[in-house]
Amino acid sequence: MAGFMSLLDVTIVAVALPTVQRDLHASAAQVQWVVSGYALTFALALVTAGRLGDALDRRRIFLLALSGFVVFSAACGAAPDITLLVVARLAQGLAAGFMAPQNSALIQQLFRGAERGRAFGLFGSTVGISSAVGPITGGVILALASGAQGWRWIFYVNVPIGVLAVLLGRRLLPRTRRSGRGHVDVPGVLLLGLGVLCLMYPLVQAESGGIGQLWWLFPVGVAVLAVFAQWQRRLVARGAQPLLDPRLFTTVRGYAVGAGVGTLYFIGFSGVWLVFALFYQHGLGFTPLRSGLAVTPFAVGSAITAVVAGRLVERFGRLLTVCGLTGVILGLGGAALLLRYGPAGSAPWLAAPLLFLGGFGGGFVVSPNITMTLRDVPVRMAGAAGGALQTGQRLGAAVGTAALPGLFYVVLAGSDDYRGALFAALGAALVGMAASLALATFDWRRDRRTRGTRRKCPDEVATGPVNARET
């Protein structure tokens, strides 16, 4: 429930932005921060929150962050002007960023073997489905809550669900002893936060020309992250506790590849929903609800396969991701061709089976990739590892949500052709997905070559065997 709410809020708000802008008399640049500000603080908090969970108490941090998310959701719904709405969204994103890595870390801590795969399967299906159903959920809420103030229910809907989740979390999540590793790498926190901020800030300002004006922040961000990586290696050499252990990427089997697959996939996956919303609402004159219904087949396909993907990943491994990405590319590619060259009146409905095929494949991407990426991560590093994985996904999503609508508008300005603009944007999304497929295929072929070798116990990888007390 908590994971679903936090990720749904990335996409659900997109369909309500025109209504928010009119009701609060905001500029296009101001209202864009309602979406991008949430994504920014979400990404900034992930790794630090994961490390704090590793060092302190994952259950307590999870429940505190979930409670904060509920409070800030209510503040968003009650905001009287655009400034307070943006501030509340920034705080809501921060709470979501502290909550998200505890999800995957608690799975690492509480489950083993095939049970862990099924648990990650449920978690991964939640990630995929929540992102896909955002547009239709937002459209339904706006249709039911009619009037200028109806957009507020986009945020209010989190309150009863969140309160129930807090009560269930307090009752059902087992209490665990603290790890005793209370040190947090403060210089690492500052360096990583500055590096991620430099990379994301131009992207969240894309609608107001941020990429053209702030392009110099990209090399600065890369340089800061290079200093961060060197600092983490130095801490490991001294035997200290780093914020993000570099051995996750160099020693833990499948982690680096899985993080790359997720980042590249989310570049295309996150941006296409905004592009579809622009095309259907502005190009074809659809209502928000009708626009959401037009992409519902993708969400339905994802829901069907994501439920079973966690049970199949132990048997098929990375092959599931390869097949899933192939289905996504075929489905979205076919839909792009049909919407570009098919009959204008019926093309959106003729594209529905192809979107279903794309969603059917998408359900086999996110869930198995999370499982394959985190399965060999030591429990003591689970929070930071999950936070880093999701940070890559948030960075990919930020690139996609900035670049794909930007390309859509560039093509539209030159030709006033909505169908051509959609085709160009979806083509760019498919490039990112094709790169993700190439990386997943490489990992699958490597798995086949090394099949039969003994796999280390997750707690023996990278950091050595744990002691009896930690066990």
Which of the given ranges, 168-182, 201-215, 457-471, has the highest pLDDT on average?
Answer: 168-182
Answer whether residue 377 is part of any domain. Answer: yes
Residue 3 has pLDDT above 60, yes or no: yes
Do 74 and 60 lie in a common domain? yes
Find the largest Cα–Cα distance for the chain.
68
Structural domain includes residue 465? no
- pTM value is 0.75
The CA distance from 108 to 252, in Å, is 15
Q: Does residue 177 belong to any structural domain of this protein?
A: no
Instruction: Look at 204-208, 335-339, 458-462 and tell me which has the smallest mean pLDDT.
Output: 458-462
The verdict on 28 and 133 lying in the same domain is: yes
Which residue range is the domain that position 160 belongs to? 2-171+243-451
- Counting the structural domains of the chain, the total is 2
Q: Is residue 470 part of a domain?
A: no
Domain shared by 227 and 320, yes or no: no
Do 215 and 321 lie in a common domain? no
The upper half-sphere exposure of residue 149, i.e. CA atoms within 13 Å in the direction of its Cβ, equals 6
Position 117 in a domain:
yes
Q: Is 461 a member of any domain?
A: no
pLDDT tens digits, residue range 386-440? 777 877 777 777 777 777 877 887 788 777 788 888 899 899 999 989 999 999 9
417 torsion bin: left (phi>0), alpha (psi -120 to 50), beta (else): beta
Residues 289 and 386 grouped into a single domain: yes
- Residue 60 belongs to some domain of the structure: yes
In terms of pLDDT, which residue wins out, 246 or 339? 339
Examine the domain organization and report whether 63 and 163 are in the same domain: yes
Q: CATH number, domain at 7?
A: 1.20.1250.20
- Would you state the pLDDT for residue 147? 67
- pLDDT value of residue 178: 58
Mean of all residue pLDDT scores within the chain? 80
